[in-house]
Amino acid sequence: MGKTANSPGSGARPDPVRSFNRWKKKHSHRQNKKKQLRKQLKKPEWQVERESISRLMQNYEKINVNEITRFSDFPLSKKTLKGLQEAQYRLVTEIQKQTIGLALQGKDVLGAAKTGSGKTLAFLVPVLEALYRLQWTSTDGLGVLIISPTRELAYQTFEVLRKVGKNHDFSAGLIIGGKDLKHEAERINNINILVCTPGRLLQHMDETVSFHATDLQMLVLDEADRILDMGFADTMNAVIENLPKKRQTLLFSATQTKSVKDLARLSLKNPEYVWVHEKAKYSTPATLEQNYIVCELQQKISVLYSFLRSHLKKKSIVFFSSCKEVQYLYRVFCRLRPGVSILALHGRQQQMRRMEVYNEFVRKRAAVLFATDIAARGLDFPAVNWVLQFDCPEDANTYIHRAGRTARYKEDGEALLILLPSEKAMVQQLLQKKVPVKEINVSSPMYDLYI
């Protein structure tokens, strides 16, 4: 009998379905073996982390500031970059561009830049990267100390740190007083990054037995000139004596005075100098329009009232010379009802109240803040349109810091200084400090200042 077409010896082609199934089975078997092999060869997470850190450190010396425009252009950890992106920080400012690379290389830095130039991130990014490189944990204790002149600035720095550093595993703490010393002492030992004011820090060094900074890796002095202006020179000397000599130090100041240079000599070793505004034509931002008016003492309140009435949809800060003046004029203008929300911020308020006022002013789209110089240094009030100085500042540096609450981060802003005839000498001081101020008439329609 002859062979059928499907019989083995018939010479017919094999069944394609069977062939595919056999191939699929073999292929799946090979893929499973490869997966198992990859699992065996997979590196532990800590090893991957170390290799990543090693690659980052190799790129530190290759940093070219001329090629840096974004934070992502720096060799930064994924955790820091993610925090920056989530906080909407992408483009770098000049002080950040010039400082971060030097700090990543482990150098001490003495930096000066105009207010509103982004000094906070210029030191917070290196702080996070320094502890990340060392794989710092809560059990390692205090690694970084950030000293700010005022409670408000320390609080603000701490909030930025929380946003940018939230993807890291470090612990951070804010020690500014206002709470029981014992309450702070119980928690201070578990802090990796400590943001504090100088007086409270020294108090813990003197009275908290368990507090020590023997493993400190980095010291940051923010607004160093203001720290010294407030009379903390002796306190800072005592603090620095209690810190290990082997550490990295970053010192930032808006102005360079003899006392700042003395502090730099005491705290820095072979520092790199970063003078961002030295080459600039003016010592205030180019986007800040600055004017002054001269009027008699009895006209000043009328000028202020007219100003507020003509800027109802703006966000403004009005600076006064004393707490009593802020308190009195705040009550007066609340009764006058100029048509815009008025807030007051001064040194006689409790710390919690000051934080509430700060946060309320930040939230509002249009408001007026009556303040003493407590608000003039370092505090970042977003979208401030105007700064009005009701009283003549003590000196040109005070003027610069007050005016610096507007025109921040290349935004537009306007500043107005009210002077008495006897105070016109301040104009020459400002011009000598490269502050371009122009006189306007009290009744100038440009500013709607009608008496």
pLDDT at 392: 97
CB 92 within 8 A of CB 70: yes
The pLDDT value given to residue 197? 94
Specify the DSSP element, H or E, that contains 111. Answer: strand 109-112
Give me the sheet containing 193-196, strands edge to edge.
Answer: 172-175, 193-196, 144-147, 218-221, 248-253, 109-112, 272-275
Greatest CA separation found in the chain?
A: 131
- Calpha distance 337→25 (Å, rounded): 84
Whether residue 40 lies inside any domain: the answer is no
- What token pair was written down for 16? 């394609």
Tokens representing residue 178 in the block: 């206002």
Residues 200, 52 within the same domain: yes
Is the pLDDT at 2 greater than 50? The verdict is no
**Residue 424 clears pLDDT 70, i.e. is over it:** yes
Whether residues 311 and 249 share a domain: the answer is no
- What range defines the domain where residue 327 resides? 288-439
Residue 450: the pLDDT is: 39
Q: Quote the pLDDT of residue 11.
A: 56
The verdict on residue 1 lying in a domain is: no
Predicted local distance difference test score (pLDDT) of residue 181: 86
Mean pLDDT of the chain: 89
* CA terminus-to-terminus distance, the chain: 125
In this predicted structure, the answer to whether residue 332 has a pLDDT above a threshold of 70 is yes
340 within 8 A of 366, measured Cβ to Cβ: yes
> Do 346 and 240 fall into the same domain?
no
Model confidence at 390: pLDDT above 90: yes
Tens-digit pLDDT profile for residues 272-294: 999 876 566 787 888 999 999 99
- Mean pLDDT over residues 97-122, rounded? 91
Question: Across 17-26, 163-172, 203-212, which has the greatest mean pLDDT?
Answer: 163-172
Residue partners of 65: CB distance under 8 A and separation at least 6: 97, 98, 101
CA 45 to chain centre: 31
When comparing pLDDT for 208 and 408, which is higher? 208
Residues 129, 104, single domain; the answer is: yes
pLDDT above 70 for 41 = no
Alpha-carbon span 346 to 326, nearest angstrom: 7
pLDDT at 6 over 70: no
Using 50, 70 and 90 to split pLDDT, how confident is the model at 5? very low
| pTM, rounded to two decimals | 0.74
Q: Please say if the pLDDT value at position 33 is more than 80.
A: no
Q: In this structure, is residue 170 part of a structural domain?
A: yes
Contact 352, 410 (CB under 8 A): no
Weakest-pLDDT range from 21-35, 73-87, 244-258, 337-351: 21-35
Residue 134 lies in a domain: yes
Q: Are residues 333 and 258 in the same domain?
A: no
Check whether residue 120 and residue 68 sit in a common domain: yes
Nearest CA to 326 out of 375, 291, 360 is that of 375
Distance of CA 392 to the CA centre of its chain: 28
Of 2-11, 17-26, 323-332, the one with minimum mean pLDDT is 2-11
User: What is the arithmetic mean of pLDDT over 292-308?
Assistant: 95
- Looking at the structure, do residues 362 and 434 belong to the same domain, yes or no? yes
**Residue 39 resides in a domain:** no
257 and 309 belong to one structural domain: no
Pick the more confident residue, 4 or 159.
Answer: 159
Question: What pLDDT does residue 443 have?
Answer: 58
Higher pLDDT, 281 or 142: 142
More confident residue, 225 or 179: 225
Which run of H or E residues covers position 419? Answer: strand 413-419
Return the bridge partners of 172, or none: 193
**How would DSSP label each residue in 118-186?**
-HHHHHHHHHHHHHHHTT--GGG---EEEE-SSHHHHHHHHHHHHHHTTTS---EEEE-SSS-HHHHHH
Could you tell me if 242 and 386 lie in one domain?
A: no
Give the span between the Cα atoms of 36 and 191, in whole angstroms: 42
Residue by residue, DSSP assigns 230-280 as TT-HHHHHHHHHTS-SSSEEEEEESS--HHHHHHHHHH-SSPEEEETTSSS
- Using the predicted structure, report yes or no on whether residue 42 has a pLDDT greater than 80: no
Say what the pLDDT of residue 261 is.
Answer: 84
Residues 309 and 407 grouped into a single domain: yes
pLDDT tens digit string along 374-386? 877 657 788 999 9
What is the mean predicted confidence (pLDDT) over 39-61? 83
Angle separating helix axes 198-207 and 233-241, nearest 10 degrees: 40
Q: Do 254 and 300 share a domain, yes or no? A: no
187 and 234 fall within a common domain = yes
Q: In this predicted model, which residue has the larger pLDDT, 173 or 28?
A: 173
Strand order in the sheet with 342-345: 342-345, 367-371, 315-319, 386-389, 413-419, 288-294, 438-439
CA dihedral over 177, 266, 113, 373, signed as positive or negative: positive
Tell me the sheet residues that pair with 324. none
Please report whether residue 298 resides in a domain.
Answer: yes
Which pLDDT belongs to residue 40? 54
Structure tokens at 317: 């800060």
Q: Is residue 22 very low, low, confident or very high in pLDDT (cuts 50, 70, 90)?
A: confident
Please count the structural domains in the chain.
2
Residue 270 corresponds to which tokens in the numbers above? 């072979």
Express as a percent the part of the chain with pLDDT over 70: 91
**Please, which pLDDT band fits residue 157 given cuts at 50, 70 and 90?**
very high
Neighbours of 199 (CB within 10 A): 14
Q: What CATH number is attached to the domain comprising 419?
A: 3.40.50.300
> What gap in Å lies between CA 219 and CA 240, rounded to an integer?
9
